[in-house]
Amino acid sequence: MHAKQRAAATAHREVAVAVINRLLLLALAFVASCAQAAVLPDERIDLLYHGYDGGGAQIDGPSVLVRKNIGASVSVAANYYVDMVSSASIDVQTNGRQGVDVESGASKYSEERKEYGFSGQYLVDRSTISLGYTSSNENDYDASTYSFGINQSFFGDLTTLGFGVSFGDDLVGQNNADGSTNPDYKRDLQRRKYGVNASQIVTKNLLASVSFDTVTDQCLNLSEDLSCLNNPYRQYRYHDGNSYKWDLEKYPHTRSSDALGIRAIYHLPWRASVRGEWRDFKDSWGIKANNYELRYTHAYHSDWIFEGKIRFYDQPTGADFYSDIFDYKDAQNYLARDKELSPFTSTVFGLGVTYKIPAGTIPWFEKSTANLYWDKFDIDYEDFRDARVSPEDYAAGDEPLYSLKADVIRLYLSFWF
């Protein structure tokens, strides 16, 4: 009897699986048959110089992108990017180990992070499949990221739905004070990102999109008393009598976060557009944040584009285990003094200009532009104090709150062919 029941159940499952498979095939067939044709991205070359100067850190370098079509349905792209670090941030000046820059996440001695990226897009009739690989290397941090995504348009190209996943494997290392690599410090970090997005042509002047991403980080093969998600050089501080002392931070082994973003862009009656963006964020460490951005883009004659924007970022809640100064050493399981995990507000004001170089000036290219964009960051920390001041002038924990101003420059040439 039991054997008969098991056989019947098995048969039932097989039928169910067959039905599901057929439904899946039907759904895929319909999706494939009713969507509209997608297009490949532009063939172009970009040469970018980027510069960041703020809070005592100067980071700059080049970035190059080449994107080319192969036949009518494949687009491939390669990107090369370099960060060159040339000075030390507040973390180094206050608590970092000698010669190590924790602001940039790079050793002062390495002074360089190189990133290579390769990606491809395949147009399958009416949908686009994307694959990507990125490798980032410095002498105390290696990261590899593999990504996959698919987009499909519906309703006569009015709606585009997509999803994407990326898998990252990082190896976190540490440099010694003399610049040599610590051979005993190798910590594996696994990153996962899953996202869905939808964009919609709402009217003939309005475009909107919504995206949701969930991201997880996890340390692998690590004992409970060690960390991999923090910077290995950064320290927390704790009260010690009338003064304070430093000790290495300690983080949880996992972090997961969700972010929802909505963007819209509207074409004004004259040749200009207004773009608005909102994002809400929260994570498993107790951090909550949101940001708003408003951007105005104005085309002047046929060869100039001017842009102005303002962006507000508010992080009212920091990580549960963040403190500017703890009451005593090892006051809790996890201890952090990363100012990015503290509550703060940030305002970014940006200006930019694009100039279309007259056709024919640069041979071989259909269109060329020269671009200069400048962003001014103004960050006010609400619970991160400037511990560089003299302990004789300020009691521990009563130092002035830190604020950071930074200038970000993007100077680049773009060529379409």
Partner 1 sequence: MILRRLLLLALLFSIAACSSVKPWVKPYERQKIADEIMSFERDPIADSYLHHVYDAREAARGGDGASGGGCGCN
- Residues 242-301 close enough to bind partner 1 by CB under 8 A: 257-261, 263, 265, 267, 271-273, 275, 277, 279-281, 283, 287, 289, 291, 297-299
Stretch that binds partner 1, among 2-10, 237-245, 387-395, 403-411 (CB under 8 A): 403-411
CA pair distance 92, 75, nearest whole angstrom: 43
Binding mask 298-317 for partner 1 (x = CB under 8 A): xx-----x-------x-x--
In angstroms, the first-to-last Cα distance of the chain is 73
Chain positions 44 to 73 lying near partner 1, rule: CB under 8 A, are 46, 48, 50, 52, 63-65, 67
Cβ distance 383 to 339 under 8 Å?
A: no
Does residue 151 belong to the site contacting partner 1 (CB under 8 A)? no
Residue with the two structure tokens 């200069």: 372
Does residue 11 belong to the site contacting partner 1 (CB under 8 A)? no
User: Helix, strand or coil for residue 174?
Assistant: coil
Does residue 353 belong to the site contacting partner 1 (CB under 8 A)? no
Closer Cβ to partner 1, 58 or 214, answer by number: 214
Does residue 100 belong to the site contacting partner 1 (CB under 8 A)? no
Using alpha carbons only, what angle is made at residue 42 by residues 40 and 45, rounded to the nearest 5 degrees? Answer: 140
Give the length of the chain: 417
Chain positions 363 to 392 lying near partner 1, rule: CB under 8 A, are 371, 373, 375, 377, 379
CA pair distance 221, 21, nearest whole angstrom: 38
Torsion sign, CA atoms 6, 9, 15, 19:
negative
Does residue 408 belong to the site contacting partner 1 (CB under 8 A)? yes
Does residue 163 belong to the site contacting partner 1 (CB under 8 A)? no
Does residue 75 belong to the site contacting partner 1 (CB under 8 A)? no
Helix (H), strand (E) at residue 164 = strand 159-172
Q: How far is the CB of 33 from partner 1 (least distance, A)?
A: 7
DSSP 8-state secondary structure symbol assigned to residue 229 = S
Which of 203, 223, 242, 361 lies at the binding interface for partner 1 (CB under 8 A)? 203
Which of 244, 321, 406, 415 lies at the binding interface for partner 1 (CB under 8 A)? 406
For 268-416, list the strands marked E by DSSP. 272-283, 288-300, 304-317, 344-357, 367-385, 401-416
Closer Cβ to partner 1, 122 or 281, answer by number: 281
Cβ distance 130 to 121 under 8 Å?
A: yes
Q: How far is the CB of 398 from partner 1 (least distance, A)?
A: 25
Q: How far is the CB of 297 from partner 1 (least distance, A)?
A: 5
- 245 Cβ contact partners less than 8 Å away, ≥ 6 residues apart: 237, 238, 329
Does residue 101 belong to the site contacting partner 1 (CB under 8 A)? no
**How big is the site for partner 1, counted in residues (CB under 8 A)?**
108
Kindly state the tokens that stand for 295: 């951007």
Closer Cβ to partner 1, 79 or 95, answer by number: 79
Chain positions 321 to 350 lying near partner 1, rule: CB under 8 A, are 340-341, 346
